[in-house]
Structure 1
Amino acid sequence: MDQIRRSILKECGAGGALALVAAAGLLHAPRAAAAPRNAQGFAARTLAEALASLGATDAIQSPDIVIATPDIAENGVLIPIEVSTRIAGAESISLLVEKNPFPLLAHFDLSNGAEAYVNTRFKAGQSSTVRAVVRAGGKTWFASREVKVTIGGCGG
């Protein structure tokens, strides 16, 4: 019983010390968590507006960007998507769904040396072109892929 009491007191003491450090303002949010959000891009209603907000209106199509997503999505609520690129020094990957009400789906800033790979899920109400935009070294590349969304999950 005495060992349990010691453990509880030790954990409470550590928690109290952490609370004091946080209250004193000595803990700061990580830089990535405090990164500015592209509010204009996520509010864009057209693909052209979203691409302009990313500075990607002059993007060049690249075979070095691979988009893996089902050709036919029977459930448009959770469509898996993976994007990877062999473009050296990739700084960011953005995902766009052309016919969504807000085309900019996601934007990922990559750390130096990070693997240029993202994996997420998205929602699409209808068949559409999915576009991945990669920025590296001041240049912008893209790849696109058509995803067919079936109504009612009939598979065709």
Structure 2
Amino acid sequence: MLVSLSRREVLLAGSAASFVLAVPALASPEEMNEAIRRFTSGAETKAGRVRLDLPPLVENGNAAPLAILVESPMTEADHVRRIAVFNERNPQPNVITAHLGPRSGRASLSTRIRLANSQRITAVAEMSDGSFWSGTADVIVTLAACIEGA
């Protein structure tokens, strides 16, 4: 059976298909927790030592300011090896991983991130003794980024 489509119908169908392909699936809280487990290789993560500064209300999710400070003397014997940031409602649950060492001076990280929706952000720091510490922040996003209409 041969179907005849007008030029307009073909263009509309193509636009709809490209929209569906362009909208990525959002990670779930379970996927975020799994990403954290991969980062820590299944080791226990303790709450504390990591301060995550993120505004509780973000008007535009395209560039939300984020700062992380980890309590550490940053000496050869006691320093932060890595800091990773995870989120539960963006297409990718692992936002960034920064590698540090004792000569980094200060165990901190600041950047801007895109947020697809209101969600919880978690930062995890790996210390030189092999322990993992975390801090979390909840954020409400009024204008979503990453996907349309999230």
Which TM-score band (shorter chain)?
0.5 to 0.7
* Alignment-derived partner of residue 124 in structure 1: 115
Tell me by how many angstroms 1:151 deviates. Answer: 3.3
Please give the secondary structure, in 2, of the residue aligned with 1:138. Answer: coil
Rg (Cα) greater in structure = 1
Q: Which runs of 5+ in 2 are unaligned?
A: 1-26, 74-78, 145-150
Mapping of residues 32-43 of structure 1, within 5 Å? none
Question: Which structure 2 residues correspond to residues 1-156 of structure 1 after superposition, within 5 A?
Answer: 45=27, 46-55=31-40, 57=42, 58-62=44-48, 64-88=49-73, 89-114=79-104, 115-136=106-127, 137-151=129-143
In 2, Cα distance between equivalents of 1:151 and 1:79? 11
Q: Which residue identity does 1:78 align to in structure 2?
A: A
Aligned residues: 107
Q: Residue 103 of structure 2: SS of its match in structure 1?
A: coil
Share of identical aligned residues, percent?
Answer: 22
Distance 1:48 1:72, change over 3 A: same
| Higher RCO (CA < 8 A, seq sep 6+) | 2
Q: CA RMSD in A?
A: 1.6
Cα distance in 1 for partners of 2:142, 2:96 equals 23
* Residue aligned with 2:33, SS: helix
CA change 1:80–1:50 in 2 (3 A) is same
CA distance in 1, matches of 2:109, 2:102: 15
Deviation at 1:56, TM superposition (A): 5.8
CA distance in 2, matches of 1:56, 1:141: 14
Q: What is the CA deviation profile of residues 74-103 of structure 1, one whole-angstrom value per residue up to 9, with x for unaligned ones? A: 000100100001134111110111111211
Give 1:113 shift: 2.8
Q: Matched residues in 2 for 1:111 and 1:60: separation?
A: 21
Give the alignment's TM-score, normalised by structure 2: 0.66
| Residue type of the alignment partner of 2:121 | V
Amino acid at match of 2:38: S
The aligned residue for residue 3 of structure 1 is none
Secondary structure of 2:34's match?
helix
